[in-house]
Chains A and B, each alone.
Chain A
Amino acid sequence: MNFTLKIWRQPGRTSAGTFKQYTIDGVAADMSFLEMLDGVNQKLVRGGEDAIAFDSDCREGICGSCGLFINGRAHGPARGVATCELRMRHFTDGEAITVEPWRAKAFPVIKDLVVDRTGFDRIIQAGGYVSVNTGGVPDANAIPVPKHSAEEAMDAAACIGCGACVAACKNGSASLFVAAKISHLALLPQGQAERKDRVTKMVAAMDEEGFGGCSNTYACEAECPKLIPVTTIARMNREFLLAKK
């Protein structure tokens, strides 16, 4: 397959960026989007040019490092996959593909397609954890967890923190990310002790970072590679209100 790529190039945080056009041929349909970009980079490096910077790590949809805005969609046109899991068969031969970094005030571009997502880390630091005393390893089955709570908590815990929710939302809102973390811990017995504190602090941190608010367009749910439902956002709102009394 052959493609014409329009890729955002930006040398650094403060420098101005622009789209540059590249062509690539001989792409196999089963290649991932990132492998295709690796091919482009190989060519660029051989020609003495600066490689296109983009984030990736596991390349199997579990770490949340990757994230590109491809042809107007976060993680590209396929549903429920991260950019690293996106295959070139999702595109038609000869297609022109526009690749942009996540765009949000809270996710400034560092270089080319790499954005600074440490805002997410700071939200987690604000309360996305449970405090446990050190000591012997507790028995895995010592604390009973109802089946449906475990299931729902696990669904929320599937969040890999890639930031597609922020990227897709017209408001650049981190609601789905924060709601997933809050739901995950609020549903489990281990999360009860810090439950109220957690939601209050994490929501404050989210606002502090400059993410927008939720206006219930549900674009986040549609783009989430882990298909985390917006019912988690309803739960976050509920937790937020209950923490106030």
Chain B
Amino acid sequence: MGLLTDLYSSSIGKKITVGLTGILLCAYLVVHLAGNMLLFRGDGGAAFDAYADVLPSLLVIRIIEIGLFAVFLLHIVTGTIVWIQNRRARPVPYAVHKKNDTSDPLSRIMFVTGSVVFIFLVVHLNTFWVPARFGDGSHHSMYGTVVEAFSSPLYSVFYLLAMVLLAFHLRHGFQSALQTFGLKNLKYTRAIEAAGLIFWLLIPVGFATIPIFYLLNP
């Protein structure tokens, strides 16, 4: 425990925490997306519903669920602490600061993109997870909930927007985490950037296919 608190108290330790939880969340997104793709089986949602019904009944999933919440919380809380500390490090701003000449704007707005993704997360959980988990059991089916939610174009557009911001967040986040772990050096930079490119683009695009599908097939 001493080692962990010691790590967490330093700026590098906090960055490593944000990076590590971020990578874990990325891994979760892959699994989540794979499950969601069952929506497109064209079987009226039978496979998707079967999948959505069996998950909560498994003990291991319940345990993972708690772990996932903990990871989310750690990512968000630590990210916010880092953001506050970093802002405090420059109390007097420059009159002129040409930041765009020296750095990628996306690398500087992680707190903003993260915050929007967080708002999305709350709405998202409230739409799908809360009724399924705490509902009175009268909910028809998860597939039905999905169809119902995306029948609102407003919801679909909000979802799409969130995916764009998620892409922005991941674009900096993924490669940034590897730099933080010290894994990036001259030899691997290219490979990491290539892997990151696939990652930040493919995952959000994968999720975005869902609202796009429902927007095109109302």
Chain A residues with Cβ below 8 Å from B10 are 203-204, 207, 240
User: CB-nearest residue of chain A relative to B90?
Assistant: A172
| 21 sampled A-B residue pairs with Cβ under 8 A | A71-B96, A72-B98, A72-B99, A77-B101, A170-B99, A171-B86, A207-B11, A210-B88, A212-B89, A214-B180, A216-B180, A218-B107, A222-B102, A229-B186, A231-B185, A231-B186, A234-B179, A234-B185, A237-B12, A237-B182, A240-B10
A73-B98 contact in complex given A218-B103, A234-B184, A237-B16, C-beta closer than 8 Å = yes
A217 touches B98 (CB 8 A): no
Q: How far is the CA of A36 from the CA of B9 in the complex (A)?
A: 46
Q: Is the CB of B90 within 8 A of A212?
A: yes
The interface on chain B, measured as residues whose beta carbon lies within 8 A of the other chain's beta carbons, has a size of 45
Q: Assess whether B43 is interfacial by the CB under 8 Å rule.
A: no
Q: Does A33 contact B (CB under 8 A)?
A: no
Complex Cα spacing A104 to B92, Å: 7
Which of A77, A100, A236 has the most chain B CB within a 10 Å cutoff?
A100
Inter-chain contact A233/B179, CB cutoff 8 Å = yes
A211 within 8 A of B: yes
Residue B197, interface by CB 8 Å: no
Closest CB in chain A relative to B1 CB, distance in Å: 13
Report if A59 contacts B (CB, 8 A).
no
Nearest chain A CB to B3's CB is how many angstroms away? 6
Give complex CA distance A126, B87 in Å.
25
Task: Report Cα–Cα, A203/B6, bound state, in Å.
Answer: 12
Interface residues of B (CB under 8 A from A): 3, 6-7, 10-16, 82, 85-99, 101-104, 107-108, 110, 172, 175-176, 179-186, 189
Q: Which residues of chain B come closer than 8 Å to A241, judged between CB atoms?
A: 16, 181-182
Q: Considering only CB atoms, which chain B residue lies closest to A238 in the complex?
A: B182
Contact of A222 among B15, B90, B103, B175 (CB under 8 A): B103
A28 to B98, CA, bound (A): 26
Complex-state Cα separation, A206 to B186, whole angstroms: 25
Taking a contact as CB atoms under 8 Å apart, the answer to whether B86 and A212 are in contact is: yes
Chain A 221-234 interface mask (CB, 8 Å, partner B; 1/0): 01100000111011
Instruction: State the CA gap A203–B93 with chains docked (Å).
Output: 25
For B12, list chain A residues within 8 Å (CB): 203, 213-214, 236-237, 240
Q: What separation, in Å, do the CA atoms of A229 and B185 have in the docked complex? A: 10
* Beta-carbon contact of B99 and A211 below 8 Å: no
Q: Please name the residue on chain A nearest to B79 by beta carbon.
A: A215
Asked whether A103 and B92 contact (CB < 8 A) given A215-B86, A230-B179, A237-B12, the answer is yes
Let me know if B89 and A106 touch, CB within 8 A: yes
> Which residues from B are CB-within-8-Å of A235?
182, 185
A171→B101 contact, CB < 8 A: no
- A81 interfacial by beta-carbon distance below 8 Å: no
Which residues of chain A have C-beta atoms less than 8 A from B95's C-beta?
6, 8, 19, 98, 100
Q: How far is the CA of A98 from the CA of B97 in the complex (A)?
A: 10
Tell me the nearest residue of chain A to B178, going by C-beta: A234
A234 and B182 contacting across the interface, CB-CB below 8 Å:
yes
Distance between B145 CB and nearest chain A CB, rounded to angstroms: 37
Residues from chain A with a CB closer than 8 A to the CB of B185 are 231, 234-235
Q: How far is the CB of A74 from chain B (nearest CB, A)?
A: 8
- Closest chain A CB from B174 CB (angstroms): 11
Which 4 A-B pairs give the minimum distances between C-beta atoms?
A238-B182, A212-B89, A72-B98, A213-B11
Complex: how many Å from CA A183 to CA B14?
A: 21
Interchain CB contact under 8 A, B110 and A231:
no
Most chain A CB within a 10 A radius of its CB, from B93, B102, B107: B102
A215 to B99, CA, bound (A): 14
How many angstroms between the C-alpha atoms of A106 and B14 in the bound complex? 20
In chain A, positions 85-111 with a C-beta closer than 8 Å to chain B are 98, 100, 103-106
